[in-house]
Amino acid sequence: MLSTFALPPDLTMTSVGVVAETSRDLALDSDIVLNASGLTAPDLSVLQLIESLRAEARLHGGDIRLAAPADDILSALLRRAGFTEAMTPDDNAFWFHGVPLQ
């Protein structure tokens, strides 16, 4: 089963817990298309949530992908957090749909 899940635009550490529970349940039951394009001011908890969902999906034989490549806001957060320094081809395919980083 394929589910689409949109992250709330104002998702941050203060609200990530509720979203984590809902999205984790989806990751156990289906493949997920995650819409992260509307995030306005994400923090590290958002990256932790997404990476946790990726791990859950892999563990249970599911698939998770972003509906669109990481936008400027999410890309900037990935850079600040050091994710782009050690990005594997699989990570690049997930976060940027395979488009080389500039």
> What CATH number has the domain bearing residue 75?
3.30.750.24
In a domain, 71, yes or no: yes
- Give bridge partners of residue 41 from the DSSP assignment: none
In a domain, 45, yes or no: yes
Mean pLDDT of 70-76: 95
Question: Cα–Cα distance between 66 and 35 in angstroms, integer?
Answer: 6
In a domain, 101, yes or no: no
Going through 1-102 in order, the beta strands assigned E by DSSP cover: 2-6, 31-35, 64-66
The helix (run of H) or strand (run of E) holding residue 95 is helix 89-96
Burial class (CB in 10 A: 0-12, 13-18, 19+), 39: buried
pTM attached to this predicted model:
0.88
Overall number of domains in the chain: 1
In a domain, 102, yes or no: no
Look up the domain containing 83 and give its range: 2-96
Residues 18-67: tens digit of each pLDDT: 888 777 766 666 788 999 998 999 999 999 999 998 988 888 888 899 99
